[in-house]
């Protein structure tokens, strides 16, 4: 039901967050997307059991397997992007800075997945910089760009998310320009508190201006959380209501962001 609802509300793209690629209802989703006529992208978050930077080679191999399955889903749905925390187990922290060994593991695993994506279709894998409490591996655009360069396959880009950027970057425009058109592949337009975009601290005008200047033409997706979705809200530390419903978050966020974009 959410697919026609997104179209009805005026969205052009829907982002499917794939929690388990092996149980994702890809055939039903594909049929409804085609019926409704709306584009999609996909994101995923890897787990401690599918962690490409784990010291355990079996866990790293499980991470590659899960990512390849996500690529298969993207290919079947016609989704051009696979974003998210797809380079490490989400929430995996060693309580130490990232090591060279972890970097080498991550690059090797991502290279295998990215080459698979090139062989099987045209999916771009976008690595999401997230805050220090969710990973120690990629927090800022500069590091993510270097990761893309080290993987070296040409189909790995950066996924920027305003919620994380406001904690980790020095400048919204600076982060966008660090990526440039070559390396910026996907954007989540979230507010600093995960509430309705345009009601908080994120400098969307500066951000949108920088995106326009580099010629970014990919999707801008709101990733807020319906307060009634208890499991996801708990995982993402949503302890208070930012709107009465998920629909209100979507409607008001879209209205606000369109108004800001119209001024640029």
In DSSP notation, 124-164 reads EEEEEP--TTT-SS--SHHHHHHHHHHH-SS-EEEEEEHHH
Which residues are registered as beta bridge partners of 161?
188
Cα–Cα dist 72/68, whole Å: 6
128 is catalytic: yes
For β-strands 39-46 and 184-188, DSSP reports them as unpaired
Cα–Cα dist 162/91, whole Å: 19
Spell out the residues 6+ positions from residue 102 whose beta carbon is closer than 8 angstroms to its own: 53, 137
Cα–Cα dist 48/257, whole Å: 35
Spell out the residues 6+ positions from residue 66 whose beta carbon is closer than 8 angstroms to its own: 21, 22, 44, 46, 50
Asked if residue 81 lies in contact with residue 217, where contact means CB atoms within 8 angstroms, the answer is no
223 is catalytic: yes
Asked if residue 31 lies in contact with residue 4, where contact means CB atoms within 8 angstroms, the answer is no
Buried b (16+ CB within 10 A) or exposed e, 120-143: ebebbbbbbbbeeebbbbbbbbbb
Choosing from 112, 128, 169, 191, the catalytic residue is 128
Choosing from 112, 169, 191, 223, the catalytic residue is 223
Active site residues: 128, 223
């Amino acid at each position: 039901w959410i697919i026609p609802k997104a179209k009805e509300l005026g969205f052009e793209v829907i982002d499917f967050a794939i929690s388990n690629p092996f149980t994702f209802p890809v055939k039903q989703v594909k049929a409804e997307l085609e019926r409704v006529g709306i584009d999609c992208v996909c994101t995923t978050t890897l787990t401690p059991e599918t962690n490409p930077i784990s010291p355990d080679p079996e866990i790293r191999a499980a991470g590659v397997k899960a990512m390849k399955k996500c690529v298969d889903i993207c290919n079947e749905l016609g989704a051009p992007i696979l974003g998210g925390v797809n380079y490490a187990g989400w929430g995996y922290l060693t309580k130490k800075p990232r090591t060279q060994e972890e970097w080498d593991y991550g690059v090797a695993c991502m290279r295998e997945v990215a080459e698979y994506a090139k062989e099987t279709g045209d999916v771009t894998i976008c690595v999401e910089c997230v805050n220090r409490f969710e990973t120690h591996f990629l927090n800022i655009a500069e590091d993510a760009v270097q990761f893309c360069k080290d993987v070296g396959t040409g189909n790995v880009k950066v996924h920027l998310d305003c919620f994380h950027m406001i904690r980790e970057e020095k400048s919204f425009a600076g982060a966008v320009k660090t990526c440039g058109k070559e390396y910026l592949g996907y954007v989540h337009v979230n507010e600093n508190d995960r509430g309705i975009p345009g009601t908080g601290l994120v400098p969307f005008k500066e951000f949108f201006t920088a995106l326009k200047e580099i010629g970014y033409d990919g999707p801008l997706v709101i990733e807020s959380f319906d307060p009634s979705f208890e499991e996801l809200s708990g995982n993402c530390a949503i302890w208070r209501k930012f709107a009465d419903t998920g629909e209100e978050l979507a409607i008001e966020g879209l209205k606000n962001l369109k108004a800001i974009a119209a001024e640029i």
